[in-house]
A = this chain, B = another copy of it.
Amino acid sequence: MADNKLQQQIEFITEIDKLKSVFRRTKILDNSRYENDAEHSWHFAMMALILKEHANDPDIDILKVMKIGLIHDIVEIDAGDTFIYDDSLKENKYKNERAAAERIFGLLPSEQRDEMISLWEEYERQDTSEAKFAMALDRLGPVMQNHNNQGHAWRVNNVPADKVLALNSRIDNGSKPLWEYAKGLIEDAIAKGYIK
């Protein structure tokens, strides 16, 4: 029989399978279907691995960025995906997600629960190099996806160009070269009429 600690860890690993059924507003690059949070989190962690040299902070702890990438959306199992351009959802977002973090990470042994909640809170606060670079990667993916499919999520949700530029400009806080790249994609999308 598994000891109590392993049993708790297995329960957590089983619970987070549900992230594969939380769908986002962005489509995968072949446009065949919406992306789910689990595969988005995989792509995020891969981006951390491949793009780390572009972080503004050369001494960034890339393992921590990868951990943030893997766990940052787990709260959405309970709280659901919040479309970042929808201001009406912002008010209760933190409260709902914090409750979700306590329930889901609370399945783990206490030391691991504390580490996971602390990583999630660090990402929310955006006050470390790792959290800022993680945010840059979390935003870059959807910009690439939306540029690739003629601005699908921006168009169907009526997001204006100035809002796309403003919300994605925080990529700059984590990586100047990645913001230069993303800004180029957004400007190209505006020029091509993908954004209103």
Q: Is the CB of B51 within 8 A of A70?
A: no
Interface secondary structure of A, over-half rule: helix
Cα-based distance from A12 to B112 in the complex (angstroms): 33
A46 touches B2 (CB 8 A): no
| Count of chain copies | 2
Q: Is there an interface contact between A50 and B9, defined as CB atoms closer than 8 Å? A: yes
* Binary per-residue interface labels of chain A (1-40) against chain B in the complex, 1 for a CB within 8 Å, 0 otherwise: 1110010011011101111110000001110100110110
- Asked, given contacts A38-B43, A39-B38, whether A49 binds B70 with beta carbons under 8 Å apart, the answer is yes
How many A residues are at the interface, by size bracket?
35 or more
The 8 Å CB contact of A70, one of B28, B45, B67, is B45
A181 touches B50 (CB 8 A): no
Docked pose: A63 CA to B62 CA in angstroms: 9
Is B50 touching A29 in the complex (CB atoms < 8 A)?
no
A66 close to chain B: CB less than 8 A: yes
Taken together as a complex, chains A and B put the C-alpha atoms of A67 and B63 apart, in Å, by: 10
CA A126 to CA B13, docked complex, whole Å: 24
A17 nearest in chain B by CB position: B29
Distance (Å) between the CB of A120 and the closest chain B CB? Answer: 13
Measured between beta carbons, the chain B residues less than 8 angstroms from A20 are 28, 35, 39
22 CB contacts below 8 A, A to B, read A2-B177, A2-B180, A2-B184, A12-B50, A13-B46, A13-B47, A13-B51, A13-B144, A14-B144, A16-B43, A16-B46, A17-B30, A18-B30, A38-B38, A39-B42, A42-B70, A45-B45, A45-B66, A46-B70, A50-B108, A63-B63, A66-B66
